[in-house]
Every structure is written in structure tokens, then in C-alpha cells.
Amino acid sequence: MSQLHNLGTHEKRMSDHPSTWISASELTTLYARKVLSPVDLIDAMVERASRLQPSLNAFVLIDGDGARAAAKDSEARWLKGQPLSALDGVPTTIKDTTPVKGWPTRYGSHATDETAAGENAPIVDRFQAAGLILLGKTTTPEFGWKALTDSPLQGTTRNPWNLKHSPGGSSGGASALTAAGINPFNHGNDGGGSIRIPAAHTGLVGLKPSYGRIAQYPADAPFADVISQGVLARSVLDTALALNTTAGPDPRDWRSLPADRRDYTVGLDDGVRGWRIGLSLDFGHVKADAEVRELVAEAARHFEALGAHVEDVGPLIEPLQNSFEPLWIGSFATRLRQIPTQLHGKLDPGFRAAAEKGLAITLADYARSYEAKSKLARDLALWHRKYDLLLAPVTPTAAPPVETLYNSDAFPRWTKGAPYTLPCNLTGQPAASMPAGLTKAGLPVGIQLIGPPRADHLVLRAMRAYEGSCGWTWPQQRVVETLTAL
């Protein structure tokens, strides 16, 4: 038993649910009041994670011993009144595309091995310096290649809302854990929608910060030009606190933005009154399901009630495939060339097919894609001179079934996978997913809030305003009922 008192029933946010559902900001308030210990919390979270793992398959590894040791250190700091940060003792996980010293990085692939990483990625260093506790690593599709989470090495990860459906990808393990009430937020990264898509499919808050806001290393070219680090959370405040902890440069990443010393919780509640918000349900070419369109339109009405002026802006972004497919499949080809030929048969067939197609990409193809990338970034930056925010869907559909073949004729990447999310990776501007509601089938849908270049604080402010108006709170009873039945 911890030196601190265990969480009493009167301290729980909802008496019918365990402490694992409590937000990060609430957890550290309880630590400070000495009514909850990081040690007791870790025991509860490891137990819940181990119990749900056979159904969700969201973990690559669980380091219970390491987490308990870190929790004891955190408890000692809180007893002295000397926490390392506002998130000291909060448990999180790391996506298995990201190195953690002493743990292997498998990328969901048989083409990798059990060699332990020799150093942390910058975001891991930031988490540990702030006293966060690492529970383990989470699943990803092979090399993070798609917006579903299944891989040849780790199998299929499932959605807590309905185990027959995917939690999205490529940060699907992180979204499944957060939505299942195992811990408050989990690390993900986003190179084409890999934070926002799983957040939308599991009813979470998912911010893709501005490109370079959080340092990235190692940098897998050419994906290094589009990837942002972040977290998948259940509240906007937790997301802002996580960004406070992780934002900043690192000498290993020459692209990282200079430190701005901003506290992202300041001004969070200032609202959106007087803002001009552009609404685009289809970007001019995306065919979203009727339920998705209606839920996003309802979100627009929320913003109008909050005092913003919302205007349908019509066609906005041209179809991306012709301009940007060389960047996508060319990067896969680069990875394929690094994998011994005898292992190609063990790769995800969809990844292999895209990578082999990418072998034909020429330098001229790349040059045209980068020219188009620059033009898109310029066009949207100019668009934001008139509008404070762009409101759009995150995905054209709710979470697809786990057996869906990604980038197939039935589920093409460019029209159903990531047509709404990829533009912001190409431009580098901040974008977030927020819960919009449920389809008739009971699956979550997300709205996307897109801000001007480097205006992460404005996106968070819009997220917070919407969060306060939409009535979406955790824990969600349907998830609780699904997981209680396991």
C-alpha cells in the first residue's frame, strides 16, 4: 500500500467508474492533496491494461515493473511538495514507431528485431524529465503506413466502442487505450492524419501540433517533412498540458521550431466570439457519409451559438493523389530498399504493393510534389488572412470494420482514408479532431479544427470552446458497457 491514502469514493469523479478514467489534470490535483498516490494508480492501470489487452490488443509491451518504480519516485516528490511538473506521476505510453531507451522499436514489422534503442526520442526525454510514467509501447500498422491498426507482427487492434471495428491508425493502440479508460492520454504521431483519424474513430481529443512544434528524431526521410508528435487525450486541458511539457526544439532536429515559452493553458477559455470560421464539408471533392456531414454541420451551429460567424466556403482543396502520391509511395520504396529481399514476403501486402509501386518514382516526380506542397501551404496561409479557423470532417466515414483492406478499391486512401487530414501535414499548420457525436450504429465521428500556420494556441482555444458546448464527457457509458462485458 502506498504512503498516501487510496482514492476514496467521495473523491471519484463518477462513483461507478475506476480512477483510471480520471483526467491528468485531476490526477495531479489529487496527488497534491495527498488523497491519491501514483503507486496505487499504476497498480490499477496495469491491472486494467492487462485485463483488456486480450480484447483490444493495443499494447506491444507493458512495463509494469518500470512503471511502478517510476511511480514510487513520483510519490516521493509529491510527498515533499516538489513535483517535476504539472504532469508528474501521470501515466502515458509511447507509440512503437518512436524510440525509448532500453526498449525495442518494432514498427509492427518482422523486418525489425528486438534490439533495444540506445537513446530516447525527444518527446520521450520531455515526458521523463517532467516525471510522467511510461506504461509501455502501443501498436501501429507496419511502419505506420495506414489509417487502420493491424500489422503482421502484432495482429489487429480493436476499437473499444465496438470490437468489430478499427480504432483507426496509425496511432490506433494509443487511441484504444485512451478511449478504454486505461490512462488519461497517450503518445501518437501524425504524418497524414495518424493522431486525428484514430481520435475521431474513438471519440477523443487529438491535436496535430504545428510542424516542428515538438522536436522529432530520428527523422525518417521523406516522412520527416510531414510528421508531428502529439497525444490522444480525453480533454482539451490535458492536451494543452501535454503540449506545455513536450513543445520545444532539440539539437537532433534542425527543423524544430524555436522555444516560444508559451503556456498553452493561458487564454484557453477566451472563446471564439467574433471569429470568422470557414466551413467545408467536402473540400470540393470528398464524398462523406450523410451522418458525418450532418454531425459536422451541427458542430458549425455550436460555433455560431458561441458567437462565431460561420460561412460555407465551398471548394477549397483540389484532389491530392496526382500531386502527392509520389511522396507517399516514394517513402515506402525508400523503406523497402532497406529491408532484405528474403523478408519481403513477411510484409503487409498492402504496404509492399504501395512500396513496390513507389520504386518507379523519379526525381522529377518528387520535384513536382514538393512544388505542389509549397503552393498548397501558401494558398492556405493566404486563405487564413480572412478566416480564423477552418471547420471540416476528419474522415468521410466512421470507424471501418477491422477486416477492411486499406488502399483497396473498397477503401482507397485518397478518397476514404485521409482526404481531409493529409493537407495539414503537407502545409504544417495545426489541426485537431474533436468528438462530434455518434452515428446510428453507435460509432464516434470527429470534427476537424484547422488553424493558421503555427497558431496552436488558437486551435486549442477553439477546441476548448467547442468542448464546453457540445456536452461530450468521459467516461462514455457505451464504452464502459462494452468493456464491462468482457
**Which residues are marked as active site?**
95, 170, 194
Residue 260 sits at φ, ψ, to 5 deg, of -105, -5
Cα gap 204→206, rounded to integer Å? 6
Instruction: Write out the E strands in 234-273.
Output: none
Count of Cβ atoms closer than 10 Å to residue 309 Cβ = 15
Q: Cα separation of 365 and 361, whole Å?
A: 6
Q: Which residues pair with 10 in a beta bridge?
A: none
Q: Are 434 and 381 in contact (CB under 8 A)?
A: no
Going by their DSSP bridges, the two strands 309-312 and 155-156 should be labelled as: unpaired
Residue 432's SS3 state is strand
Distance CA 475, CA 469 (A): 17
Rounded to the nearest angstrom, the gap between the alpha carbon of residue 112 and the centroid of all alpha carbons in its chain is: 24
Q: What is the CA radius of gyration of the chain?
A: 21
Angle at 416 between CA 411 and CA 419, to 5 degrees: 145
Sequence letter at residue 90 = V
Smallest CA-to-CA distance from 172 within 193, 104, 183 is with 193
Burial class (CB in 10 A: 0-12, 13-18, 19+), 484: exposed
Give the position of cell 473499444: 160
Q: How many residues does the chain have?
A: 486
Nearest to 183 by CA among 96, 92, 246: 92
Contacts of 99 (CB under 8 A, 6+ apart): 105, 117, 119, 120, 121, 124, 218
Strand boundaries in 388-443, DSSP class E? 389-393, 431-438
SS3 content of the chain, % helix, strand, coil (to 5): 40, 15, 45
Task: Identify which of 388, 239, 205 has the alpha carbon closest to the alpha carbon of residue 307.
Answer: 388
CA distances from 275 to 205, 300, 388, 395, 435 (A): 21, 12, 6, 24, 21
